[in-house]
Amino acid sequence: MSQFEFKLKHRDATSAARRGVFLTPHGPVQTPGFMPVGTQGTVKGITIDQVSATGADMILGNTYHLALRPGHETVRKLGGLHAMCGWQGPILTDSGGFQIFSLKAINQITEQEATFRSHIDGTIIRLTPEHSIEIQEALGSDVAMVLDHVIALPASHDEVEDAMARSIRWAKRCLEASNRDDQAKFAIVQGGLDSELRTQCARELAAMDFNGYAVGGLSVGEAPSEMYRITAATCPHLPEHKPRYLMGVGRPVDLLESIARGIDLFDCVMPTRNGRNGLAFTDTGKLKLRNAIHREDTRPIDENCPCPACKHSRGYIRHLFVSGEMLGPILLSIHNLTYYQRLMTDARKAIESQRFTEFLLEKKQGWGEDQKSPPAT
């Protein structure tokens, strides 16, 4: 019997939003849910206990980076990724496929493998689907992503189709290489901005026995409307009782618009990266706390937020950044992660009460986002 199960609890009547729970050996993940990014075994700048206090159920680690430092065998000897970093909840690991895209100037793709030069020391790395799974099994994550072929857009139809077809073949190789029953495998739908290729890829992957499905290759520079269009075209062709994960997304509005189209899980560096640079997310839009307007502001960032940052004034937070104190980036990273988790909690409640579309429009109004494009059903 599988150690993984996705229980679909509610469907929103006015959109394709879903409320569920994904059961794993390290505990449940409430969906819709957001995973903080811990690329190298740490969510940058904050402790594991602080990550947990934000309300996160699941975090993400990266196969490519952990294979380079400290090395997957070292992680194995340290007891696996959970023991090494101290996170007791579920962990998802990316496969290294995104590095095929982001390191395109120093890689080469064949049917057999992707060949990289390490961004650290130039060492040649050969990553096959089988080796990606081997690394992730050594890391001991709860969810291992298949190795996929991500390409930069725009690209020709033939190039997009070639990468999509290779992603399907590589997904099958990943499934066949799997040896751990306690590690779920998620396939990744590719196909660029071509809805027909996305549909074909989704259907072929859905025919295989994966524990979940991701939509990849988006949020790489295309217009948000294009991402929403492709997500809406893809989700109906994915198994209803398996979790759906939109990789690398994103802005709060992108999360809610994608939930409205049937997505269950997200990850992105945006909350922590922006936090380290003095930007806070709120229901009334983004606050740039380095700005002089906040110098004597006694208000908290958000009076309804329970995070440590919101126990202080905006003026104090600004002072920390202007003074170069490391506490400023730490506090804003915690605040932003807390904001994302509160947003997901409220989204789940809105789905349960059959008012997700109303909730989405309320949030967009608060953020100053365009109200003219209601979510797709």
Q: What is the DSSP letter of 349?
A: H
> Residue 374's pLDDT is what?
47
Q: Same domain for 276 and 259?
A: no
Is 263 in the same domain as 273? no
Instruction: For residue 304, name the pLDDT band (cuts at 50, 70, 90).
Output: very high
pLDDT digits (tens, 9 = 90+) for 152-163: 888 999 999 999
Res 1: pLDDT: 56
Domain boundary among 232, 267, 302: 267
The rounded mean pLDDT for the chain is: 94
| Domain presence at residue 78 | yes
In a domain, 122, yes or no: yes
Q: Is position 375 within any domain?
A: no
**pLDDT, tens only, 177-186:** 999 999 999 9
Structure confidence at residue 106 as a pLDDT band (50, 70, 90): low
What would the pLDDT profile of 250-289 be if each residue is shown by its tens digit?
Answer: 999 999 999 999 999 999 999 999 999 999 999 999 999 9
Q: What is the pLDDT of residue 375?
A: 47
Residue 225: count of CB within 10 angstroms of its CB? 11
Of 57, 94, 142, 148, catalytic: 94
271, 337 Cβ separation under 8 angstroms: yes
Domain assignment present for residue 376? The answer is: no
Is pLDDT at 104 greater than 80 in this prediction? no
From the list 12, 57, 142, 267, the catalytic residue is: 267
Two tokens, residue 74: 């070292």
> Would you state the pLDDT for residue 197?
98
Bridge partner residues of 91 (DSSP): 59
Q: Are residues 250 and 279 in the same domain?
A: no
Fill in the DSSP letter of residue 110. -
Cis peptide before 248 (omega within 30 of 0): no
Domain contains 220 = yes
- Give the end of a domain, one of 267, 296, 330: 267
Residue 377 domain-assigned?
Answer: no
pLDDT of residue 137: 98
Give the pLDDT confidence of 313-341 residue by residue, as tens digits.
999 999 999 999 999 999 999 999 999 99
What is residue 115's predicted lDDT score, i.e. its pLDDT?
Answer: 85
Same domain, 256 and 274: no
Are 10 and 67 members of one domain? yes
Domain count, the chain: 2
pLDDT in tens, 123-153: 888 899 999 999 999 999 999 999 999 888 8
Does one domain contain both 281 and 252?
no
Q: Are residues 167 and 191 both part of a single domain?
A: yes
Q: In this predicted model, what pLDDT tens digit does every residue of 75-103 receive, in sequence order?
A: 999 999 999 999 999 999 998 777 666 66
Q: Is 377 a residue whose pLDDT tops 60?
A: no
Sign of CA dihedral 220, 224, 226, 232: positive
Eight-class DSSP state of 185? E
Q: Which of 215, 246, 267 is the last residue of a domain?
A: 267
Range of lowest pLDDT (44-48, 64-68, 355-359):
64-68
Is 203 found in the same domain as 314? Answer: no
User: 90 and 132, same structural domain?
Assistant: yes
Query: Mean pLDDT, to the nearest integer, of 347-367?
Result: 98
Count of CB atoms within 10 A of residue 252's CB? 25
Asked if residue 261 lies in contact with residue 344, where contact means CB atoms within 8 angstroms, the answer is: no
pLDDT in tens, 33-43: 999 999 999 99
Structure-token match 């190039």, residue found: 159
**CA 179 – CA 133 distance, rounded (Å):** 9
pLDDT tens per residue across span 17-26: 999 999 999 9
Q: What is residue 373's predicted lDDT score, i.e. its pLDDT?
A: 55
Q: What are 60's two structure tokens?
A: 């993400």
Domain annotation covers residue 74 = yes
Q: Which pair of tokens denotes residue 77?
A: 């000897």
**CB atoms inside a 10 Å sphere around CB 350:** 24
**Whether residue 186 sits in one domain with residue 151:** yes
Report how far Cα 132 is from the mean position of its chain's Cα atoms. 19
> How far is Cα of residue 84 from the mean position of the Cα atoms in its chain?
21
Q: What is the pLDDT of residue 27?
A: 98
- Domain that residue 353 falls in: 269-367
Instruction: Identify whether 158 is a catalytic site residue.
Output: no
* C-alpha span between 190 and 370 (Å, rounded): 28
49 is catalytic: no
pLDDT at 362 exceeding the cut of 80: yes
pLDDT of residue 118: 79
The answer to whether residue 376 scores a pLDDT higher than 60 is: no
Alpha-carbon distance of 341 to 267, in angstroms, equals 11
**Cα–Cα distance measured from residue 374 to residue 365, given in angstroms and rounded to the nearest whole number:** 12
Query: Is the residue at 373 inside a domain?
Result: no
- Report, in angstroms and rounded to the nearest whole number, the Rg of the chain calculated over CA atoms: 20
CATH code, 190:
3.20.20.105
Are 230 and 334 part of one and the same domain?
A: no
Residues 6 or more apart whose Cβ sits within 8 Å of residue 324: none
Both 138 and 152 in one domain: the answer is yes
